């Protein structure tokens, strides 16, 4: 290290002549008042006032909330309007019967299901189902906002009404997503506007899966107890209702 005496300056290190033109390479001087190129496309957004910025950000969400229920209803309108199609939309395939109404050929996932009227189902079965799955069935209009919030907070499920379950089982899928839940909610409202509570209850009981390859209350009563739905006791009805949350796991 060279020590300089008092009053002496260190010699200035000169750059080689051939490096002079490249000395300031990489030091880009930003022009005042000019945005970088990558921000030019959003210049219109930054010039907006705060309320307008909020509106621009919320617009896609609002469009989603409006378009999804309308598109879903238009897509499933024929199924919702026809009771037979609503109960059998996922029952796809071909079933051929003879003159005695006996199945002689079937292909795909189709099965011959007899429609059991509500008067031919025991009161204990109807009461057990409503008490377990949807105690406010006769009060709501397709969904129960308090049950939805409770299920969201506890994360234990159980927020869907019988009408929502009918939509999920027969029209939509078991996918756990916001999109499916949002579709389910508005389509349940549409079904409530097209059918009475008794019709919805009848469609649910005739199409829900009870496990053991039993779809509907008639097959379930026959498979589990070898009797007709109108002869089910309270204990038997409670057992069948207890299977519904997870038929493959809870079926005896």
Q: Where are the alpha helices (DSSP H) in the chain?
A: 43-46, 50-81, 83-88, 123-133, 145-154, 162-170, 178-194, 197-207, 217-225, 234-243, 247-250
Sorted by where each begins, the domain ranges of the chain are 113-250
Predicted pLDDT at 125: 95
What is the residue-averaged pLDDT of the chain? 76
- The least confident of 42-51, 89-98, 211-220 is 89-98
Count CB neighbours of 53 within 10 A: 13
Please check whether residue 148 is in contact with residue 182, taking contact to mean a CB–CB distance below 8 angstroms. Answer: no
State how far the Cα of 207 lies from the Cα of 113, in Å rounded to an integer.
9
Asked whether the whole model's pTM tops 0.85, one would answer no
For 93-138, the pLDDT digits (tens) are 455 666 666 666 555 455 556 788 999 999 999 999 999 888 889 9
Give the burial class of 6: count Cβ atoms within 10 A of its Cβ; 0-12 exposed, 13-18 middle, 19 or more buried. Answer: exposed
* Higher local confidence (pLDDT), 69 or 185: 185
Please tell me what DSSP assigns to residue 21.
G
User: Smallest Cα–Cα separation from 170: which of 214, 215, 112, 212?
Assistant: 215
User: Smallest Cα–Cα separation from 190: which of 223, 167, 209?
Assistant: 167
% of the chain with per-residue pLDDT over 90: 22
Most confident range, picked from 32-41, 66-75, 224-233: 224-233
Predicted pLDDT at 240: 93
Please check whether residue 95 is in contact with residue 101, taking contact to mean a CB–CB distance below 8 angstroms. Answer: no
Query: What is the rounded average pLDDT of the residues 43-51?
Result: 75
Query: What is the rounded average pLDDT of the residues 9-15?
Result: 58
State how far the Cα of 165 lies from the Cα of 188, in Å rounded to an integer.
9
Please check whether residue 127 is in contact with residue 236, taking contact to mean a CB–CB distance below 8 angstroms. Answer: no
Please check whether residue 179 is in contact with residue 212, taking contact to mean a CB–CB distance below 8 angstroms. Answer: no
% of the chain with per-residue pLDDT over 70: 66
State how far the Cα of 241 lies from the Cα of 252, in Å rounded to an integer.
12
Please tell me what DSSP assigns to residue 165.
H
The alpha carbon of residue 9 and the mean position of all alpha carbons in its chain are separated, in whole angstroms, by: 78
Domain 113-250 falls in which CATH fold? Penicillin binding protein transpeptidase fold (1.10.3810)
Rg (CA), the chain: 34
Structure tokens at 238: 């409670």
Query: What is the rounded average pLDDT of the residues 165-174?
Result: 83
Most confident range, picked from 12-16, 65-69, 177-181, 201-205: 201-205
Confidence class for position 81, pLDDT limits 50, 70, 90:
confident
Predicted pLDDT at 85: 77
The alpha carbon of residue 89 and the mean position of all alpha carbons in its chain are separated, in whole angstroms, by: 18
For 146-160, the pLDDT digits (tens) are 766 666 665 555 678
């Amino acid at each position: 290290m060279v020590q300089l005496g008092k009053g002496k300056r260190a010699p200035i290190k000169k750059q080689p002549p051939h490096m002079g033109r490249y000395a300031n390479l990489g030091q880009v001087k930003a022009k005042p008042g000019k945005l970088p190129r990558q921000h030019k496309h959003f210049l219109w957004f930054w010039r907006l006032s705060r309320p307008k910025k909020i509106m621009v950000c919320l617009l896609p969400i609002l469009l989603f909330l409006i378009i999804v229920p309308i598109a879903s209803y238009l897509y499933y309108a024929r199924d919702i309007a026809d009771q037979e199609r609503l109960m059998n939309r996922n029952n796809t395939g071909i079933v051929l019967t003879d003159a005695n109404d006996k199945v002689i050929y079937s292909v795909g996932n189709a099965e011959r299901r007899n429609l059991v009227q509500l008067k031919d189902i025991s009161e204990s079965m109807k009461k057990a189902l409503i008490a377990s799955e949807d105690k406010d069935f006769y009060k709501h209009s397709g969904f129960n906002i308090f049950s939805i919030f409770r299920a969201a907070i506890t994360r234990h499920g159980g927020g869907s009404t019988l009408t929502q379950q009918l939509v999920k089982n027969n029209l939509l899928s078991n996918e756990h997503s916001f999109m499916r839940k949002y579709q389910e909610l508005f389509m349940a409202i549409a079904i409530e506007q097209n059918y009475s509570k008794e019709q919805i209850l009848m469609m649910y009981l005739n199409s829900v899966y009870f496990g053991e390859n039993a779809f509907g209350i008639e097959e379930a009563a026959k498979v589990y107890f070898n009797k007709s739905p109108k002869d089910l006791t309270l204990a038997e009805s409670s057992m069948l209702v207890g299977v519904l949350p997870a038929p493959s796991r809870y079926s005896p």
